[in-house]
Structure 1
Amino acid sequence: MARYATSDLHGCLLSFQRLVEDKLKLTRDDELYVLGDYVNKGPNSRGVLDYLRQLQADGYPVVCLRGNHDQELLDAACGRLALTWAPDADRHVTLQSFGVQQAADIPDSYLCWLEELPYQLEVPGFVLVHAGFNFRLPPEQMRRDWNTMLNIKEFVLDASRLGGRRLLHGHVPTLTTEVQKQVDEPAGAICLDTGCVYRHNPELRHLAALNLDTLELTLQPNIEPDYYIAKRG
C-alpha cells in the first residue's frame, strides 16, 4: 500500500492519466489524495472530472478536496456571476469541454460531485488543504475560514496548530526544484502545485505527486495537445 498526494490538475487529463497509470501505477490498495483545482485553464476539465469519478467508481481510494477554481465554476453554474470566474478564454475552453454555452448548463452530476468536496482533510502525518490557512485566527475559526483555505497565497506557518502533522497544499505554482527543497525540510509546508498547465514554462509544466510515506517526489511533464495559455513567469 502507498499513499500519494497531488494537486492542481487544471484540465490536464492526459498528463494526470500518465501520472496515475504509468508513473505511480496506482492500485486499489493505494490511496491518492488530490488537493483541488480540477477545472479551468487546461484543455479538458470535463475529462479530468470524468476520470476522477471513474477511478472512484472502480474502487480506487481517490479522495478529492475542493480548490478555488472548482468553487468558481460552482458559483458560476449557480448564478453567482458577480463573483470572480475565469477569464473569457479560460471560460470558453472549460465550457467547450462540457459541450455547453454557459456554466448553468453543466450537467448536475458534475456540480453535485464538486459540491460534496471537502475543504480540508487530516491523514496520518499530514494536514491537506488546497491553498493554506490563516494561522493568525483562533484555531477553531482557522478551520472554518473556507475562503482562506481556497485562496490564500502567502501564510506564516504555525506548526503548533497542526498537531505534529506537516501541511500539504497546492494553489501557488512553484518550481519543481523548490518543491523538492520543501519536501527535504524536516518540517513545514509543502506546495504540490508545480504548474502543470503552464506548458510553455520549462521550470513548471509538471504534475507532482508525493509519496506520503517515503517522501519520494514523482514528476510528470505536461503531455497535453496544444492549447492556448499565457506563459507564467
Structure 2
Amino acid sequence: MSDLTYAIGDIHGQLDKLRHAQELIAADRARSGNAAPIVHLGDLVDRGPDSRGVVAHLMAGQARGENWVVLKGNHDRMLLNFLADPEIPDPGLSRPLPYTWKNIGGADTLDSYGVPGGLERPLGDLHAEALRAVPQSHRDWLASLPLWHRRAEALFVHAGIRPGIALAAQTEDDLIWIRGAFLDDPRDHGFLVVHGHTAIDAATHYGNRLNLDTKAGYGGPVTAAVIEGRRAWRLTEHGREEIAP
C-alpha cells in the first residue's frame, strides 16, 4: 500500500480557502489515481470569518465517509475551554488573555455562530449566548478530535512534539502548543513531523519536520501538500511543486 498522505495546514475559519485546498487535492487524486487520506492539522477556528462553516463542513465530510482525519489544534481547544469556563484562560497561553482578545480571534468564531460583539461585551453575557448558539454536536466533535496521526514515515500533529519523549508520553499541551523546544531541535525524531501552529510565509521542509501553517489566520493561504516517505510537495493549480529540505 502506498504511504502517500495529503495534508492541509491551519484553517482558522477560512472555509473558502479550505475548499480550495481540498479541490487541489481532488485534482491530484484524479491525476494520480491515489485515494490517500487527507490529514487536517488543526486550528479549524478563530480569526477567519466562518469557523462554524469550517466545523460543519468537516463534520459533514466525515459523516458521508470522506477519508479525512481532523486533528485538534490549540485554537480548537480554546473554544472548548471558553464554553466550559470563560474566566479560565487556556494554560498554553503565555499570559492569561481572554478568548475574545483580538489576536486570539475568538470573537470572530463567536460571531460566526451568531454571537456578535465579542470584543466589547462582558464575557459572562457572551458565554451564556454561546452555550445556546454552539451546537452540542460541534462541541462533542471538537472534543473528540485526535491529537496526532501516524502514517508510514510521517507523524501528523498540530504544533509538534517534545523531542526525546516517546509518542505515548507526549502531553496534549505540547502537541498543540509547543514551539521553541521543538522548532529549534535539529535531531531526527524517527519520522518526519508534519505540523502547523507556527505561522510562516510558505510551506517549509526542515529535514526533520515540515511546517504547513501559511498564515491563513492573517490573510495567507490554506496550504495543501502531499507527503510520501519523507518527501513533500505543495499542491498548486499547476500541479505539484516539491518542498525540498
1:40-119 correspondence to structure 2 within 5 Å: 40-79=46-85, 81-84=87-90, 85-89=98-102, 90-100=105-115, 101-102=126-127, 103-105=130-132, 106-119=134-147
State the match for 1:134 in structure 2: 162
> How far off its partner does 1:65 sit?
0.7
What is the percentage of aligned positions where both structures have the same residue?
27
Structure 2 CA distance, aligned partners of 1:193 and 1:219? 16
The CA deviation string for residues 54-94 of structure 1, in whole angstroms up to 9 with x for no partner, is 11122111001110000111111112531145344423221
Q: 1:215 to 1:108 in 2, by over 3 A?
A: same
State the match for 1:34 in structure 2: 40
Structure whose CA Rg is larger: 2
State the match for 1:223 in structure 2: none
1:70-219 correspondence to structure 2 within 5 Å: 70-79=76-85, 81-84=87-90, 85-89=98-102, 90-100=105-115, 101-102=126-127, 103-105=130-132, 106-136=134-164, 138-139=165-166, 143-154=169-180, 155=182, 156-159=185-188, 161-162=189-190, 165-176=191-202, 179-180=203-204, 182=205, 187-199=207-219, 205-213=220-228, 215-218=232-235
Structure 2 CA distance, aligned partners of 1:59 and 1:170? 25
Structure 2 CA distance, aligned partners of 1:188 and 1:140? 16
Q: Give unpaired runs (5+ residues) of structure 1.
A: 200-204, 221-233
Work out whether residues 128 and 167 of structure 1, in 8 Å CA contact, stay in contact via their aligned partners in 2. yes
Work out whether residues 46 and 107 of structure 2, in 8 Å CA contact, stay in contact via their aligned partners in 1. no
Work out whether residues 30 and 60 of structure 1, in 8 Å CA contact, stay in contact via their aligned partners in 2. no
TM-score (norm 2): 0.75
Work out whether residues 150 and 156 of structure 2, in 8 Å CA contact, stay in contact via their aligned partners in 1. yes
State the match for 1:11 in structure 2: 13
RMSD (Å), alpha carbons: 2.3
Report how many aligned residue pairs link the two structures.
203
Q: 1:87 to 1:126 in 2, by over 3 A?
A: same
Structure 2 CA distance, aligned partners of 1:171 and 1:219? 22
Q: Which shifted more, 86-95 or 104-113?
A: 86-95
Work out whether residues 162 and 170 of structure 2, in 8 Å CA contact, stay in contact via their aligned partners in 1. no
> How far off its partner does 1:219 sit?
5.1
Structure 2 CA distance, aligned partners of 1:157 and 1:73? 33
TM-score (norm 1): 0.79
AA at the equivalent of 2:114: G
The alignment partner of 2:156 has SS state of strand
